[in-house]
Structure 1
Amino acid sequence: METIKLRISGMTCEHCAQTVGKALSAVSGVVGARVSYEEGSAQVEAKNAVDAGLLVRAVKAKGYGAEVSRSTDTAARRVGDSPLHIAIIGGGSAAFACAIRAVEEGARVTLIENGTLGGTCVNVGCVPSKIMIRGAHIVHEAQHHAFDGIGKAAPALDRRRMLAQQQARVDELRQAKYQGILDANPGITLVRGRARFKAPHVLEVRRNDGAVREIRADRVLVATGASPAVLPIPGLKETPFWTSTEALVADAIPQHLIVLGGSVVGLELGQAFARLGARVTVFELLDRLLPIEDEEISQGLREALEAEGIEVHTGFKTESVAHRNGRFEIAGNGKTFTGERLLVATGRRPNTADLGLEAIGVKTLGNGAIEVNERLETNVPGVYAAGDCTSHPQFVYVAAAGGTRAAINMNGGEAALDLAAIPAVVFTDPQVATAGLNERSARKRGIAVETRVLTLDNVPRALANFDTRGFIKLVADAGTGRLLGAQVLAPEAGEIIQTAVLAIRYGMTVGALANEIFPYLVMAEGLKLCAQTFTKDVK
Structure 2
Amino acid sequence: MHDVVILGGGPGGYEAALVARKAGADVTLVERHGLGGNAVLTDVVPSKTVIATAEWRTIAERAPELGIVAEDGAPVRTRVDLAAVNARVRALVARQSEDIEARLSSEGVRLVRGAGRLTAERAVEVEGETITGDAVLLALGARPRVLASAAPDGERILSWTDLYALEKLPEHLVVVGSGVTGAEFAEAYALLGSRVTLIASGDRVLPREDPEASAMITAVFRERGMELVGGRAAAVSRTDDAVVVTLEDGREVRGSHCLMAVGSVPNTDGVGLEEAGVRLDERGYIAVDKVSRTSAQGVYAAGDCTGVLPLASVAAAQGRIAMAHALGDAVRPLHLGHMASTVFTAPEIATVGASEADLKARGIFYRVERLDLARNPRAKMLGIDQGFVKVFGHTVTGHVLGAVIVGSRASEHIYALSLAVANRLTVDQVADTFTVYPSLSGTSSEVARRLHGMREDGPHGT
Q: Same fold (TM over 0.5)?
A: yes
Task: Find the aligned partners of 1:344 and 1:98 in 2 and give their Cα distance.
Answer: 32
Structure 2 residue identity aligned to 1:120: N
Distance 1:352 1:146, change over 3 A: farther
Distance 1:469 1:235, change over 3 A: closer
What is aligned with 1:360? 276
RMSD: 2.1
Task: Find the aligned partners of 1:395 and 1:281 in 2 and give their Cα distance.
Answer: 26
What is aligned with 2:102? 180
Q: Secondary structure at the match of 1:106?
A: coil
Structure 1 residue identity aligned to 2:139: A
Q: Secondary structure at the match of 1:359?
A: coil
Task: Give the alignment of 1:68-467 within 5 angstroms.
Answer: 83-145=1-63, 147-151=65-69, 152-177=75-100, 179-186=101-108, 188-205=109-126, 207=127, 212-232=128-148, 234-236=149-151, 240-314=156-230, 316-332=231-247, 333-416=249-332, 417-467=334-384
Cα pair 1:223 1:387 within 8 Å, conserved: yes
> How many angstroms does 1:465 deviate by?
2.6
Specify every segment of 5 or more residues in structure 1 that has no aligned partner in the other structure, as ranges: 1-82
Structure 1 residue identity aligned to 2:23: E
Task: Find the aligned partners of 1:238 and 1:503 in 2 and give their Cα distance.
Answer: 46
After the TM superposition, which of the residue ranges 527-536 and 506-515 deviates more from structure 2? 527-536
Distance 1:120 1:236, change over 3 A: closer
> How many angstroms does 1:200 deviate by?
4.3
Cα pair 1:200 1:380 within 8 Å, conserved: no
Cα pair 1:236 1:322 within 8 Å, conserved: no
What is aligned with 1:521? 438
> How many angstroms does 1:386 deviate by?
1.0
Q: Secondary structure at the match of 2:188?
A: helix
Distance 1:183 1:235, change over 3 A: closer
TM-score by length of 2: 0.91
Cα pair 2:90 2:164 within 8 Å, conserved: no
What's the % identity of the aligned pairs? Answer: 32
Task: Find the aligned partners of 1:503 and 1:231 in 2 and give their Cα distance.
Answer: 42
Deviations 1:18-77 (A, max 9, x none): xxxxxxxxxxxxxxxxxxxxxxxxxxxxxxxxxxxxxxxxxxxxxxxxxxxxxxxxxxxx
State the structure with more CA Rg.
Answer: 1
Structure 2 residue identity aligned to 1:190: L
> How many angstroms does 1:499 deviate by?
0.6
Distance 1:192 1:465, change over 3 A: closer
Cα pair 2:389 2:447 within 8 Å, conserved: yes
Distance 1:529 1:347, change over 3 A: same
Cα pair 2:105 2:111 within 8 Å, conserved: no
After the TM superposition, which of the residue ranges 219-228 and 136-145 deviates more from structure 2? 136-145
TM-score by length of 1: 0.79
Task: Give the alignment of 1:450-489 within 5 angstroms.
Answer: 450-489=367-406
Q: How many residues align?
A: 446
> How many angstroms does 1:311 deviate by?
1.3
Q: Secondary structure at the match of 1:194?
A: coil
Task: Find the aligned partners of 2:363 and 2:165 in 1 and give their Cα distance.
Answer: 46
Structure 1 residue identity aligned to 2:119: K
Q: Secondary structure at the match of 2:65?
A: coil
Task: Find the aligned partners of 2:152 and 2:93 in 1 and give their Cα distance.
Answer: 29
Distance 1:475 1:250, change over 3 A: same
What is aligned with 2:416? 499
> How many angstroms does 1:110 deviate by?
1.7
Distance 1:176 1:533, change over 3 A: same
> How many angstroms does 1:145 deviate by?
4.4
Cα pair 1:200 1:383 within 8 Å, conserved: no
Q: Secondary structure at the match of 1:244?
A: coil
Task: Find the aligned partners of 1:148 and 1:113 in 2 and give their Cα distance.
Answer: 49
Q: Secondary structure at the match of 1:420?
A: helix
Deviations 1:344-367 (A, max 9, x none): 111222211222222233222222
Q: Secondary structure at the match of 1:224?
A: coil
Task: Find the aligned partners of 2:384 and 2:97 in 1 and give their Cα distance.
Answer: 36
Cα pair 1:133 1:269 within 8 Å, conserved: yes
Deviations 1:452-496 (A, max 9, x none): 222223322223333221211111112222110001111221121
Task: Find the aligned partners of 2:21 and 2:349 in 1 and give their Cα distance.
Answer: 37
Specify every segment of 5 or more residues in structure 2 that has no aligned partner in the other structure, as ranges: 70-74, 455-462
Structure 2 residue identity aligned to 1:118: G
Structure 2 residue identity aligned to 1:181: R
Cα pair 1:146 1:466 within 8 Å, conserved: no
What is aligned with 1:44? none
Distance 1:134 1:341, change over 3 A: same
Cα pair 1:132 1:272 within 8 Å, conserved: yes
